[in-house]
Structure 1
Amino acid sequence: MLEQLEAIRERFEEVSQQITMPEVVSDMAKFKRLSKEYKDLEKIVNQLNAYKNILSNLEGAKDIIANEKDEELRDMAKEELDILTPQKEEAEAILKEMLIPKDPNDSKNVILEIRAGTGGDEASIFAGDLFRMYQRYIERQEGWTMTLLDHNEGTSGGYKEIILQVEGEDVYGKLKFESGVHRVQRVPATESQGRVHTSAASVAAMPEADEVDIQLNMNDIRVDTFNSSGAGGQSVNTTYSAVRMTHIPSGIVVSCQDERSQIKNREKALSVLRSRLYEMELAKHNAMIADARKTLVGSGDRSDKIRTYNYPQSRVTDHRIGYTVYNLPNVMDGAIDDFIEQLRIADNAEKMKEGLGT
C-alpha cells in the first residue's frame, strides 16, 4: 500500500508544478482537469502525512518502552501506545478506502429527473414530496445549487414530471444511489375509507455529460418550439420560448420551458439530451458491474424498487442493503445522509471484496 501511496505523492508534486505553468493556465479545460486532480490527490497526501506521523510517534513510543529506564516515562509511552494503535488502524482503513478506484463520474454535476409512477394523483403528490426532500438535501450541501429545467404539474398537486440540474462538488458521487423506484405507503387525502394505498415514483440521477463525453450530431436532432405553459406572466405564453428536442436515432424526447429565453431553453434541453444518451451507455456499464458484484447498490437501474416510505409506521427502508430508519418526517425533510453513507459503504465493501473498479 505504501508504494501506491508514494506514487500518488509523486504524481501530486508533478501536478502541483504543472498547474502553475503558463501554457496550462491559458488552457481552461486542462487547467480545470488538473486542478480537480490536484484537489483529489491532496486529500490522499494529507492523509498519508498524518498516517506517517502516527507511525513515527508509534516507533518513538516503542523505543522508549524498550530502552528507557525511567519507569514514569515508560508508563507515559505505554499510554501513548494505547492511544496511537487504534489511530493507526483507523488511518490505514481511511487510506485503503481512498485507494479504491473512483467512479470517474462522481465529480460530475447531475440531471435529476423525478416522475410519477403507478398510483394516479397520489403518485404525482409523492413525486412532489420527493422533489421537496431532494431540495432540502441540496440546500444542506455546501456549495450546491439547483436549477429547475422542466416540470409538468399533477392535476391534484405535486408533479407528473420534474427535471432539475444540480451543481456542486461530488454531486453524482452522492446522488447516484438515488436512481430507481421509490415506493410510498400511506392513506391518500382522497381516501374516505382510511385505507393505506401504495404508489410509486421513479428517480433518475444522471451525470451531466460534457460535450467531450457525448458528441451530438445536430442533423440527428429535430427541434420544435412552442408556447410555454409555465409561470412567468403574459410574455411566457405569447412567445415560442419553449423547446422540444427529439433525438431521431434513439427516440429520446426532451423539452425545456422554464426559461423565458429560447436560447437558454435550447442549451438546457441539449444538456439533458446529452446526459440521457450518456446515461444509456453508463447503465449498460453499471449493469455489468452490478451483475459481477451480485448487488443492486451500484446498478442505478431506475426500474428497480429501491426504497419504501411507510407513513403509518414512520418507517423508511432501503431494500438494497436492508437499512431502515423510523423517522420518516426527518427523512422527507432532506435527512437522507445516512442512506447515502450506508450505500456508499456497501458499494465500497463490494469493490474491495471483488477487486472491481467502476
Structure 2
Amino acid sequence: QIIEEEGNSQNILMEIRPGAGGDEAGLFVNDLYFEMVESRVGYEGSFSNVAFLIKGEGVFNYLKNEAGVHRVQRIPRTGKNDKLHTSTATVVVLPEPQDIILNIRPQDLKVETYNSGGPGGQHANKTASAVRITHLPTKIVATSQDGRDQRVNRERALFVLKTRLSEKLQTEKEKEVGDLRSTMIGTAERSENFRTYNFPDNRITDKRLKIKLNNKLDFVMEGDLEEICQKSIDYEARKDGIDWKQEKNITSRWKKFVKYSYMTNLEKNELAEIGVQFGGPVRWRNPQMLPYIYKK
C-alpha cells in the first residue's frame, strides 16, 4: 500500500542489474541503461549495476511495466565465437523515496499520567508529572518521567513516540520495497524473462504485453520507447476493464475540433479533459502534446 500511494509521484528510481550470461549480461545492462535515458554516448564497457532517477509527470505509470527480466539473444561482443548467446538483465522500477509524513490523530493516543519515581525529589513523587502515551493502532508506548513538569514530559514522550512510529513505518516500507524488488526480478534466470531482444532477427517479443515488434529493435535500443510504453498503458487499461477501441465517444468528440492551432483555450482545455476523463495515456494530459495527439 505504501508503494501504491507513492506511485503517483512524478519521479522513479530505476535499477538495472546483470542476470544470467556473464560479461555479456553486463553489456546488456549498458544497452538497456542508454536505451532508457536516450543517450548517444558510445560507452563500450559493462555495468555490474546501475541506478538512476527519472523525472517527469506520470513517469511511474509510463515505465512501471519495464520492470522484470529482459533477455537478449545475439552474438556476444565479449568473445571470438559467432554462436548465438542468451543473457539477461533485471530492471526494477520504484517510486522515488519520499519522506515519511506522520499523521497522528489525537483520538489514536491514550495519554496517562502517574507519579514519577525518578529525579525531582519530593515534588516529583507527590505529583503526577510522569507521562505515558500509547499509540492505540500500533500499541507503541513511550514514557517520560525525567522532568518535574508534566507538560515537558508530555512533549518528550510524544517525541519518542513519533520517532518509534517513524522507525516502524520505515522498516515496513523497506520490507515492502524489498518484496516488490524480489517479485520484479525473481531469480533473473533466462526462463523468467518477459521480453526478448532478438538481434539477429531485429525483433522484440513481449510476453506480458503480447506483442511482437518486427524491424524495430534498433529504434528501441536508441531510446524510442513510445510504442512500447503506449502498449504498456493499453495493457493496464485492459486490466482495469477499459477498451480504447470501443470508446467511440472520444473519437467523436475529437472530430468537432477543426485544427488544434485554431482552437480556443476553452476547446484546448476540453480536449485535454477528454484524456483525464477517460483515464487515457499520461501524455494526453500534457498540453504541449495535444497537437501530436490531434494528428494521431
The TM-score with structure 1 as length reference comes to 0.41
The higher radius of gyration belongs to 2
The TM-score with structure 2 as length reference comes to 0.49
Decide which structure has greater helix share: 1
Larger RCO of the pair (alpha carbons < 8 Å, separation 6+): 2
